[in-house]
Structure 1
Amino acid sequence: MSTPFIRNHQYNVIKKQSEFLLKTLRSVADRRVLETVRYRAATIVTEAFSSLTENQRQMLEQISTLETAYDFQRYLSSLEPYLEPYPPITLKQIQKLFPKNKKLKLPDLQSIDFRYVTYLSWVDIATNKLFIVYPFEGQFIGIEGRITPINQKGYCLFCNRQQELAFFSVRTKSANASPDNISAIGQYVCMENHGCNQSITDTGSLEKFILSVRK
């Protein structure tokens, strides 16, 4: 039985390196350059993990031996049984994360393939609010804020790809502040979270933002 060890953002690293290596194989003839790119691809993939067993390392390093588009597709498909899905969560758990929202719009959990989710999010169009639920150190963190499309492309804080952006503003206050002393922290993020989840390769910026605004 396969033991999952690849999180979604790590799988995205593997996909990105696979795409880059295949493109290089199709456009570069210099054998020394190709060997360098192969080695670097395998290094970037393995360094995306804090720890690996020897079998896991060997499995991932196969990327350096691939030649054709079919090889890369078969390689990526072979890794799918090892994807570690987003932790199980229920609608009741989500509701408890947002106790002040009595009419909280909930996501359709049945329609989500949680193998490819780093953060769960959805937009309530009626209130122009974005809700995010993120698993961190064995618990879920829920944040909500105003989402405002800016109708232009830029780099998303979470996935660092150039895409149509929106300004996500979260009201927050310090632990010692009075109830009236409320400010807002905002960042530019993808309008479309599915594509964001398919592109995110590092959780650092996402976690930093969520921890900075958590209540």
Structure 2
Amino acid sequence: MQTPFIQNYQFNVITKQANFLLKALRTVADRKVLETVRYTAVTNSLEVFDELTAEQKQLLEQLSSYEAAHELQDYLDRLEGFLIPFPQVSAKQIQKLFPKAKKLKLPDLETVDYARTTYLRWTDIATNRLFIVYPYEEKFLGIEGRITATNKKGYCMFCNRHQELGFFNVKTKGHSPDNLASIGHITDVTMLEKFLLSTVK
């Protein structure tokens, strides 16, 4: 039985590196350049893990051995079996995280793909408030704030991508607002955790 060891954000990194490799395979003829790309893709994938067993490292290193799009997709499909799912969270647990939200509208927890979730987020359209639930050290962190469309593109410090941003106004310890992308494929949770922990009073 395979033991899950890949967090969703780490899987996003591996997917990004697989796409990087695929693009090189389609456009680069020089074998030395391709070998460098293969080495870089594997190195970048391994760097997001603190600890790996020999078997886990060997599995991730297989990324460099594929030549075709369907092979890379099959490999990613196989890796999904090693994903650590988002911890099961109940409606009651979520409600406890937001005691001031008296008429809290929850997402449909039955339809959440927990294997591909880094954090739960949903917007209450009636109040224009964004809610985030994130697992941290055997517990859940919950924050809420007002979301405003900016109609501008910029660099999201959470998703590490240039995309359209929303202005997420949250009262943190320092009462300073931060930007949060409306949709995210997170590849590093460091800034997300720093932001979330700054809201814990």
SS at match of 2:175: strand
Larger CA deviation: 84-93 vs 27-36: 27-36
Aligned residues between the structures: 201
Write the distance in 1 (CA, Å) between the matches of 2:166 and 2:175.
15
Write the distance in 2 (CA, Å) between the matches of 1:167 and 1:32.
45
- 2:102 matches 1:102: yes
Partner of 2:195: 209
Question: TM-score, structure 1 length as denominator?
Answer: 0.90
> What are the equivalent positions in structure 2 for 1:58-207 lying under 5 Å apart?
58-173=58-173, 184-192=175-183, 196=184, 199-207=185-193
Aligned-partner residue type, residue 10 of structure 1:
Q
Write the distance in 2 (CA, Å) between the matches of 1:117 and 1:172.
24
Deviation at 1:204, TM superposition (A): 0.7
Partner of 1:176: none
CA contact 1:132–1:143 (8 Å) conserved in 2: yes
Write the distance in 2 (CA, Å) between the matches of 1:185 and 1:116.
30
Partner of 1:30: 30
Aligned-partner residue type, residue 177 of structure 2:
G
Deviation at 1:17, TM superposition (A): 0.1
Write the distance in 2 (CA, Å) between the matches of 1:135 and 1:86.
8
Write the distance in 1 (CA, Å) between the matches of 2:171 and 2:35.
50
SS at match of 2:32: helix
Per-residue deviation, residues 141-177 of structure 1 (Å, max 9, x unmatched): 111111111112112221021222110011134xxxx
Aligned-partner residue type, residue 186 of structure 1:
P
Aligned-residue Cα RMSD (Å) equals 1.1
Identity percentage of aligned residues = 60
Deviation at 1:29, TM superposition (A): 1.2
Write the distance in 2 (CA, Å) between the matches of 1:152 and 1:138.
36
Aligned-partner residue type, residue 201 of structure 1:
T
Deviation at 1:61, TM superposition (A): 0.4
Aligned-partner residue type, residue 151 of structure 2:
N
Deviation at 1:191, TM superposition (A): 2.0
Structure 1 gaps of 5+ residues are 174-182
Write the distance in 2 (CA, Å) between the matches of 1:185 and 1:68.
47
Question: TM-score, structure 2 length as denominator?
Answer: 0.96
Aligned-partner residue type, residue 191 of structure 2:
S
CA contact 1:122–1:130 (8 Å) conserved in 2: yes
Write the distance in 1 (CA, Å) between the matches of 2:103 and 2:57.
47
Aligned-partner residue type, residue 212 of structure 1:
S
